[in-house]
Protein backbone atom coordinates (compact mmCIF):
# COMPACT_ATOMS: atom_id res chain seq x y z
CA UNK A 1 0.00 0.00 0.00
CA UNK A 2 1.26 3.47 -0.89
CA UNK A 3 1.81 5.63 2.19
CA UNK A 4 0.04 8.92 2.71
CA UNK A 5 3.46 10.63 2.69
CA UNK A 6 4.13 9.23 -0.79
CA UNK A 7 0.84 10.58 -2.10
CA UNK A 8 1.58 13.96 -0.51
CA UNK A 9 5.00 14.12 -2.16
CA UNK A 10 3.66 13.17 -5.61
CA UNK A 11 0.85 15.69 -5.24
CA UNK A 12 3.26 18.50 -4.47
CA UNK A 13 5.39 17.56 -7.47
CA UNK A 14 2.40 17.83 -9.79
CA UNK A 15 1.81 21.46 -8.79
CA UNK A 16 5.38 22.62 -9.41
CA UNK A 17 6.31 24.39 -12.66
CA UNK A 18 8.52 22.57 -15.18
CA UNK A 19 12.27 22.69 -14.66
CA UNK A 20 13.74 25.88 -16.06
CA UNK A 21 17.11 25.98 -17.70
CA UNK A 22 20.10 28.31 -17.98
CA UNK A 23 23.39 29.29 -16.41
CA UNK A 24 25.14 30.97 -13.48
CA UNK A 25 25.77 34.65 -12.93
CA UNK A 26 22.28 36.09 -13.13
CA UNK A 27 20.77 35.32 -9.76
CA UNK A 28 20.15 36.87 -6.37
CA UNK A 29 19.79 35.34 -2.89
CA UNK A 30 23.31 33.92 -2.97
CA UNK A 31 22.85 32.62 0.57
CA UNK A 32 21.08 29.69 -1.12
CA UNK A 33 24.32 28.86 -2.97
CA UNK A 34 26.40 28.49 0.18
CA UNK A 35 25.29 24.96 1.03
CA UNK A 36 26.45 23.93 4.44
CA UNK A 37 28.17 21.46 6.66
CA UNK A 38 31.85 20.93 7.32
CA UNK A 39 31.51 17.29 6.28
CA UNK A 40 30.02 18.21 2.91
CA UNK A 41 32.65 20.87 2.28
CA UNK A 42 35.47 18.45 3.10
CA UNK A 43 34.05 16.11 0.46
CA UNK A 44 34.12 18.81 -2.20
CA UNK A 45 30.38 19.48 -1.79
CA UNK A 46 29.62 16.06 -3.31
CA UNK A 47 26.68 15.51 -0.98
CA UNK A 48 23.52 15.06 -3.06
CA UNK A 49 23.54 11.26 -2.67
CA UNK A 50 24.42 11.19 1.04
CA UNK A 51 21.87 10.27 3.70
CA UNK A 52 21.46 10.00 7.46
CA UNK A 53 23.03 13.41 8.12
CA UNK A 54 20.99 16.39 9.30
CA UNK A 55 22.77 18.69 6.84
CA UNK A 56 21.61 16.72 3.78
CA UNK A 57 18.50 18.93 3.69
CA UNK A 58 20.73 21.66 2.20
CA UNK A 59 21.80 19.38 -0.66
CA UNK A 60 19.01 16.86 -1.19
CA UNK A 61 16.09 16.69 1.28
CA UNK A 62 15.53 12.98 0.60
CA UNK A 63 18.72 12.26 2.56
CA UNK A 64 16.76 12.91 5.77
CA UNK A 65 14.72 9.74 5.21
CA UNK A 66 17.50 7.60 6.74
CA UNK A 67 18.21 9.46 9.96
CA UNK A 68 19.80 6.98 12.41
CA UNK A 69 17.79 5.67 15.33
CA UNK A 70 20.08 2.88 16.50
CA UNK A 71 20.89 4.59 19.80
CA UNK A 72 17.28 5.04 20.76
CA UNK A 73 15.65 2.66 23.21
CA UNK A 74 12.13 1.41 22.67
CA UNK A 75 9.55 4.15 23.15
CA UNK A 76 12.07 7.00 22.77
CA UNK A 77 12.66 9.41 19.92
CA UNK A 78 15.93 10.89 18.71
CA UNK A 79 16.49 14.35 17.26
CA UNK A 80 19.72 15.31 15.54
CA UNK A 81 20.90 18.92 15.61
CA UNK A 82 23.89 20.59 13.97
CA UNK A 83 25.56 23.99 14.09
CA UNK A 84 27.95 25.17 11.38
CA UNK A 85 30.05 28.34 11.30
CA UNK A 86 32.62 29.89 8.99
CA UNK A 87 34.28 33.26 9.57
CA UNK A 88 35.49 35.17 6.50
CA UNK A 89 37.32 37.88 8.42
CA UNK A 90 40.56 35.86 8.26
CA UNK A 91 40.65 35.18 4.50
CA UNK A 92 39.63 38.73 3.55
CA UNK A 93 41.46 40.67 6.27
CA UNK A 94 40.00 44.02 7.34
CA UNK A 95 37.63 44.00 4.36
CA UNK A 96 36.06 40.85 5.75
CA UNK A 97 35.15 42.20 9.17
CA UNK A 98 31.62 41.10 10.00
CA UNK A 99 31.46 38.60 7.11
CA UNK A 100 30.32 35.14 8.19
CA UNK A 101 28.01 32.28 7.30
CA UNK A 102 26.31 30.05 9.81
CA UNK A 103 23.34 27.76 10.11
CA UNK A 104 21.41 25.81 12.72
CA UNK A 105 19.81 22.59 11.52
CA UNK A 106 17.69 19.94 13.21
CA UNK A 107 15.77 16.82 12.19
CA UNK A 108 13.73 14.14 13.93
CA UNK A 109 12.55 10.76 12.60
CA UNK A 110 8.87 10.01 13.23
CA UNK A 111 8.96 6.28 12.60
CA UNK A 112 6.72 5.16 9.74
CA UNK A 113 5.51 8.71 9.21
CA UNK A 114 8.89 9.92 7.87
CA UNK A 115 11.35 12.57 9.05
CA UNK A 116 10.82 16.28 9.64
CA UNK A 117 13.49 18.96 9.88
CA UNK A 118 14.22 22.68 9.93
CA UNK A 119 17.26 24.79 9.07
CA UNK A 120 18.04 28.46 9.66
CA UNK A 121 20.80 29.95 7.50
CA UNK A 122 22.32 33.35 8.30
CA UNK A 123 24.83 35.36 6.29
CA UNK A 124 26.49 38.41 7.78
CA UNK A 125 27.47 40.97 5.14
CA UNK A 126 29.79 43.12 7.21
CA UNK A 127 29.87 46.90 7.37
CA UNK A 128 30.56 49.82 5.08
CA UNK A 129 32.24 53.12 5.90
CA UNK A 130 29.99 56.16 5.48
CA UNK A 131 31.85 59.29 4.30
CA UNK A 132 31.11 62.73 2.84
CA UNK A 133 33.19 64.60 0.28
CA UNK A 134 36.26 64.11 2.47
CA UNK A 135 37.92 60.77 3.22
CA UNK A 136 36.98 61.08 6.87
CA UNK A 137 34.73 58.26 8.03
CA UNK A 138 31.55 59.50 9.69
CA UNK A 139 30.38 56.09 10.88
CA UNK A 140 30.33 52.40 10.11
CA UNK A 141 26.98 51.16 8.83
CA UNK A 142 25.95 47.50 8.82
CA UNK A 143 24.94 45.98 5.49
CA UNK A 144 22.61 43.63 7.33
CA UNK A 145 22.16 39.89 7.70
CA UNK A 146 20.50 37.62 5.15
CA UNK A 147 18.23 34.79 6.32
CA UNK A 148 16.80 31.61 4.84
CA UNK A 149 14.45 29.40 6.87
CA UNK A 150 13.82 25.89 5.54
CA UNK A 151 11.29 23.27 6.62
CA UNK A 152 11.95 19.72 5.44
CA UNK A 153 10.10 16.45 5.10
CA UNK A 154 11.41 13.10 3.83
CA UNK A 155 10.28 9.51 3.74
CA UNK A 156 10.97 6.19 2.09
CA UNK A 157 8.64 5.37 -0.79
CA UNK A 158 10.07 1.86 -1.14
CA UNK A 159 13.02 0.06 0.44
CA UNK A 160 15.30 1.42 -2.27
CA UNK A 161 13.69 4.79 -3.07
CA UNK A 162 13.53 7.85 -0.79
CA UNK A 163 11.98 11.25 -1.52
CA UNK A 164 12.06 14.60 0.22
CA UNK A 165 10.81 18.16 -0.04
CA UNK A 166 11.94 21.53 1.35
CA UNK A 167 9.91 24.70 1.74
CA UNK A 168 11.96 27.89 2.12
CA UNK A 169 11.36 31.47 3.19
CA UNK A 170 14.14 33.85 2.14
CA UNK A 171 14.83 37.40 3.31
CA UNK A 172 17.67 39.41 1.82
CA UNK A 173 18.94 42.70 3.23
CA UNK A 174 21.10 45.39 1.67
CA UNK A 175 21.57 48.26 4.06
CA UNK A 176 18.13 49.79 4.59
CA UNK A 177 16.51 47.88 1.72
CA UNK A 178 15.18 44.34 1.93
CA UNK A 179 13.41 41.76 -0.20
CA UNK A 180 11.67 38.45 0.41
CA UNK A 181 10.78 35.34 -1.54
CA UNK A 182 10.03 31.65 -1.11
CA UNK A 183 11.18 28.46 -2.81
CA UNK A 184 10.77 24.69 -2.96
CA UNK A 185 13.34 21.89 -3.26
CA UNK A 186 12.56 18.35 -4.42
CA UNK A 187 14.91 15.39 -4.12
CA UNK A 188 15.08 11.63 -4.56
CA UNK A 189 17.66 8.96 -3.78
CA UNK A 190 17.73 5.44 -5.17
CA UNK A 191 19.79 2.48 -3.98
CA UNK A 192 21.03 0.57 -7.03
CA UNK A 193 20.88 -3.25 -6.95
CA UNK A 194 24.65 -3.64 -6.70
CA UNK A 195 25.49 -6.08 -3.91
CA UNK A 196 29.27 -5.95 -4.33
CA UNK A 197 29.52 -2.14 -4.16
CA UNK A 198 26.41 -0.58 -2.57
CA UNK A 199 25.70 2.54 -4.64
CA UNK A 200 23.15 5.28 -4.11
CA UNK A 201 22.28 7.84 -6.79
CA UNK A 202 20.66 11.13 -5.88
CA UNK A 203 18.95 13.95 -7.76
CA UNK A 204 17.59 17.24 -6.47
CA UNK A 205 16.06 20.38 -7.96
CA UNK A 206 16.61 23.33 -5.64
CA UNK A 207 15.31 26.87 -5.23
CA UNK A 208 12.26 26.74 -7.49
CA UNK A 209 10.36 29.92 -6.73
CA UNK A 210 9.72 33.54 -7.73
CA UNK A 211 12.54 36.05 -8.04
CA UNK A 212 13.56 38.40 -5.26
CA UNK A 213 13.54 42.19 -5.57
CA UNK A 214 14.51 45.07 -3.30
CA UNK A 215 12.62 47.95 -4.89
CA UNK A 216 11.00 47.14 -8.25
CA UNK A 217 9.28 43.79 -8.79
CA UNK A 218 9.88 44.16 -12.53
CA UNK A 219 13.61 44.00 -11.85
CA UNK A 220 13.55 40.94 -9.61
CA UNK A 221 16.60 38.69 -9.58
CA UNK A 222 15.96 35.00 -10.21
CA UNK A 223 16.72 32.58 -7.42
CA UNK A 224 19.81 30.36 -7.94
CA UNK A 225 17.95 27.29 -9.20
CA UNK A 226 20.12 24.19 -9.31
CA UNK A 227 19.91 20.62 -10.53
CA UNK A 228 22.16 18.33 -8.52
CA UNK A 229 23.07 14.78 -9.52
CA UNK A 230 25.35 12.58 -7.44
CA UNK A 231 26.46 9.12 -6.40
CA UNK A 232 27.63 7.59 -3.13
CA UNK A 233 29.58 4.31 -3.31
CA UNK A 234 30.56 2.20 -0.31
CA UNK A 235 33.86 0.81 -1.67
CA UNK A 236 34.87 -1.21 1.38
CA UNK A 237 33.38 -1.93 4.76
CA UNK A 238 34.19 -4.20 7.65
CA UNK A 239 33.84 -3.96 11.40
CA UNK A 240 36.44 -1.23 11.84
CA UNK A 241 36.87 0.42 8.43
CA UNK A 242 34.59 2.12 5.94
CA UNK A 243 35.67 3.81 2.70
CA UNK A 244 33.12 5.84 0.74
CA UNK A 245 33.54 7.51 -2.66
CA UNK A 246 31.11 10.34 -3.51
CA UNK A 247 30.72 12.37 -6.68
CA UNK A 248 28.39 14.94 -8.12
CA UNK A 249 27.67 17.49 -10.80
CA UNK A 250 25.54 20.63 -10.52
CA UNK A 251 23.81 22.48 -13.34
CA UNK A 252 22.68 26.11 -12.94
CA UNK A 253 19.12 26.22 -14.28
CA UNK A 254 17.89 29.70 -13.41
CA UNK A 255 16.46 30.78 -16.77
CA UNK A 256 14.62 29.29 -19.75
CA UNK A 257 15.89 31.64 -22.46
CA UNK A 258 17.48 35.01 -23.09
CA UNK A 259 15.37 38.03 -24.01
CA UNK A 260 15.59 38.21 -27.79
CA UNK A 261 15.86 42.01 -27.95
CA UNK A 262 18.62 42.11 -25.35
CA UNK A 263 20.39 39.21 -27.09
CA UNK A 264 20.34 41.09 -30.41
CA UNK A 265 21.76 44.23 -28.79
CA UNK A 266 24.50 42.24 -27.05
CA UNK A 267 25.44 40.50 -30.31
CA UNK A 268 25.74 43.80 -32.15
CA UNK A 269 27.85 45.31 -29.37
CA UNK A 270 30.19 42.32 -29.14
CA UNK A 271 30.56 41.89 -32.90
CA UNK A 272 31.33 45.57 -33.43
CA UNK A 273 34.86 44.97 -32.09
CA UNK A 274 35.44 41.45 -33.41
CA UNK A 275 36.94 40.34 -36.69
CA UNK A 276 35.40 36.88 -36.34
CA UNK A 277 31.72 37.44 -35.64
CA UNK A 278 29.83 35.60 -32.93
CA UNK A 279 26.68 33.79 -33.91
CA UNK A 280 23.53 33.75 -31.82
CA UNK A 281 24.10 30.09 -30.98
CA UNK A 282 27.70 30.71 -29.91
CA UNK A 283 26.64 33.50 -27.54
CA UNK A 284 23.88 31.36 -26.02
CA UNK A 285 26.37 28.53 -25.58
CA UNK A 286 28.94 30.81 -23.94
CA UNK A 287 26.31 31.98 -21.48
CA UNK A 288 24.96 28.50 -20.78
CA UNK A 289 21.38 29.38 -21.71
CA UNK A 290 18.67 26.73 -21.98
CA UNK A 291 19.80 23.17 -22.54
CA UNK A 292 23.33 24.53 -22.97
CA UNK A 293 23.51 24.81 -19.17
CA UNK A 294 24.31 21.10 -19.25
CA UNK A 295 27.45 21.52 -21.35
CA UNK A 296 30.41 20.10 -19.43
CA UNK A 297 32.17 23.48 -19.12
CA UNK A 298 29.15 25.00 -17.36
CA UNK A 299 28.79 22.27 -14.73
CA UNK A 300 30.13 22.31 -11.20
CA UNK A 301 32.07 19.08 -10.56
CA UNK A 302 32.49 17.47 -7.14
CA UNK A 303 34.42 14.48 -5.87
CA UNK A 304 35.19 13.23 -2.37
CA UNK A 305 36.54 10.30 -0.36
CA UNK A 306 35.67 9.57 3.26
CA UNK A 307 37.35 7.02 5.53
CA UNK A 308 35.92 6.03 8.92
CA UNK A 309 37.97 4.23 11.55
CA UNK A 310 35.29 2.44 13.50
CA UNK A 311 32.68 5.02 14.46
CA UNK A 312 35.22 7.33 16.08
CA UNK A 313 37.43 9.07 13.52
CA UNK A 314 36.77 10.23 9.95
CA UNK A 315 39.32 11.48 7.40
CA UNK A 316 38.02 13.31 4.34
CA UNK A 317 39.36 14.87 1.16
CA UNK A 318 37.46 16.51 -1.71
CA UNK A 319 37.89 18.18 -5.07
CA UNK A 320 35.61 20.85 -6.53
CA UNK A 321 35.60 22.97 -9.67
CA UNK A 322 33.25 25.87 -10.37
CA UNK A 323 32.41 27.04 -13.92
CA UNK A 324 34.09 30.33 -14.75
CA UNK A 325 36.41 30.25 -11.71
CA UNK A 326 40.07 29.52 -12.44
CA UNK A 327 42.07 29.27 -9.22
CA UNK A 328 45.82 29.88 -9.44
CA UNK A 329 47.03 26.59 -7.96
CA UNK A 330 45.82 23.01 -8.24
CA UNK A 331 45.80 22.75 -4.44
CA UNK A 332 43.14 25.46 -4.31
CA UNK A 333 40.60 23.04 -5.74
CA UNK A 334 41.05 20.59 -2.86
CA UNK A 335 39.36 20.50 0.52
CA UNK A 336 40.12 18.27 3.48
CA UNK A 337 38.92 17.69 7.00
CA UNK A 338 38.50 15.38 9.95
CA UNK A 339 35.57 14.27 12.06
CA UNK A 340 35.53 12.95 15.62
CA UNK A 341 32.52 11.14 17.04
CA UNK A 342 32.10 10.52 20.77
CA UNK A 343 28.88 8.84 21.95
CA UNK A 344 26.06 11.12 20.80
CA UNK A 345 28.18 14.05 19.64
CA UNK A 346 30.34 14.74 16.61
CA UNK A 347 32.77 17.54 15.76
CA UNK A 348 33.89 18.21 12.18
CA UNK A 349 36.69 20.54 11.11
CA UNK A 350 37.33 21.38 7.47
CA UNK A 351 39.77 23.51 5.52
CA UNK A 352 38.41 24.82 2.24
CA UNK A 353 39.79 26.80 -0.73
CA UNK A 354 42.41 29.48 -0.18
CA UNK A 355 41.36 33.13 -0.08
CA UNK A 356 44.36 35.44 -0.13
CA UNK A 357 47.03 34.35 2.37
CA UNK A 358 44.88 31.87 4.28
CA UNK A 359 42.41 29.03 3.72
CA UNK A 360 38.74 28.95 4.58
CA UNK A 361 38.14 27.14 7.87
CA UNK A 362 34.79 25.63 8.78
CA UNK A 363 33.65 24.14 12.07
CA UNK A 364 30.53 22.07 12.66
CA UNK A 365 29.19 20.42 15.79
CA UNK A 366 26.42 17.79 15.69
CA UNK A 367 24.54 16.12 18.51
CA UNK A 368 21.83 13.49 18.88
CA UNK A 369 19.26 14.23 21.57
CA UNK A 370 17.12 11.45 23.01
CA UNK A 371 13.83 12.07 24.75
Half-sphere exposure of 235 (CA within 13 A, CB side): 10
Nearest by Cα to 289 from 13, 25, 4 = 25
Q: Where are the domains of the chain?
A: 4-128+139-256+295-370
Q: Is the pLDDT reported for residue 25 higher than 60?
A: no
pLDDT at position 235 is: 96
Look at residue 1 and tell me whether its pLDDT is greater than 50. Answer: no
On whether the 4-128+139-256+295-370 domain is CATH 3.40.50.150, my answer is: no
* pLDDT value of position 361: 58
The residues, ordered by sequence, that sit 6+ positions from 117 with a Cβ below 8 Å of its Cβ are: 54, 57, 61, 64, 105, 106, 107, 108, 151, 152, 153, 154
Write down the pLDDT at residue 19: 34
User: pLDDT band at residue 77, thresholds of 50, 70 and 90?
Assistant: low
With beta carbons less than 8 A apart as the criterion, state whether 40 and 55 touch: yes
Alpha-carbon span 107 to 237, nearest angstrom: 27
Interval 238-253: pLDDT, tens = 999 999 999 999 999 9
Whether residue 95 has pLDDT greater than 70: no
How many Å apart are CA 31 and CA 142, to the nearest integer?
A: 17
At 213, give phi and psi (nearest 5°): -130, 155
d(CA 319, CA 251): 17
List, for residues 352-370, the tens digit of each pLDDT value.
665 444 555 566 565 555 4
Q: What is the pLDDT of residues 46-60, one digit of tens each?
A: 999 999 889 999 999
Q: Of the spans 23-37, 130-144, 336-350, which averages the highest pLDDT?
A: 336-350
pLDDT for the residue numbered 354: 53
Amino acid sequence: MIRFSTLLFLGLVSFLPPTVLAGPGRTGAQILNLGGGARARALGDAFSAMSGDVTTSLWNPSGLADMPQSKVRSGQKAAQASMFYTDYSGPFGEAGEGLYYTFLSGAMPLGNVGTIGATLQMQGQGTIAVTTDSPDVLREESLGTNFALTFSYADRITETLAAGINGKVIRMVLGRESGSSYAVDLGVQYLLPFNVIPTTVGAAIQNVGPGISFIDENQADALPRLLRLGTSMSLYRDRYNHIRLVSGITAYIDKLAENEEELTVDLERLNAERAEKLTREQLLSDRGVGIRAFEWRHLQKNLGVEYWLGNLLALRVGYKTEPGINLPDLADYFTYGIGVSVYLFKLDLTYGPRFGPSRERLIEATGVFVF
